[in-house]
Amino acid sequence: MKKFGIGCGILAVIGVIILLFLLAGVASYNRLVGSSQFVDSKWAQVQNNYQRRSDLIPNLVNTVSGAANFEKSTLTEITQARASVGQVKIDPNTAPSDPQKLAEYQNAQNQLGNALSRLLVVSERYPELRATAQFSDLSAELAGTENRIAVARKDFNDAVLSYNSAIKSVPGVFFAGFMGYKEKPYFQATAGSDKPPKVEFNFGNSKTAPATN
């Protein structure tokens, strides 16, 4: 009888441990689901802002191409860079889990941003273009979009940091792999990536930006 009581006690302890483990698993699952969805929502914001920039480019190109003797090579560069971004196939609603895929996407977007910056610098040499209301409006929209992109990328990285911390900390570390939750990559910092491309225009100043060697 005494042995039976001890056996029941051991089973009860084991049952409590299993119950606590299951409860921890449920809590961990719920946390990981919420954290993953939060990352996806921030990724969608990144995508929306990049798409907004992409949508502004055709109007900007059409506007500057109307300027007399505008450098055609600059227009070709930005058009090709925009096309390259479209060739990178990536889910707009789910944050990528493949670091190489995100790096490819980031590289394409960086190339487009660099081409766009060069186009705007060249535009400084055309006072009659900078004086038009359409160019002024587009440049203002673009400046706002670049700022939103910078903010969206930071928010995305912050969300990924929180998610990655969740899958590496207790109790998530015991359940994440089993439930299919893997570490997500960040946007990597590149030279000048801490600041959006400069798209401000000094409409009252006709001086051309100094050439760089």
pTM for the full model? 0.76
C-alpha torsion sign, points 91, 93, 97, 101: positive
CA angle 108, 87, 109 (to 5 degrees): 20
The answer to whether residues 85 and 54 touch, using CB atoms and an 8 Å cutoff, is yes
Counting runs of H as helices and runs of E as strands, what totals does the chain give?
A: 6, 0
- Please state, in angstroms and rounded to a whole number, the distance separating the CA atoms of residues 74 and 46: 26
Query: What is the torsional sign of CA 90, 93, 95, 98?
Result: negative
Kindly report, residue by residue over 18-60, the tens digit of the pLDDT: 665 565 556 667 788 889 999 999 999 999 999 999 999 999 8
Give residue-wise pLDDT tens across range 56-80.
999 988 888 877 677 888 888 999 9
In angstroms, what CA-CA distances link 190 with 19, 110, 149? 48, 9, 15
Q: Identify whether the C-beta of residue 95 lies closer than 8 Å to the C-beta of residue 156.
A: yes
Kindly report the CATH number that applies to the domain delimited by 2-175. Answer: 1.20.1440.20
Inter-residue contact 108 to 85 (CB < 8 Å): yes
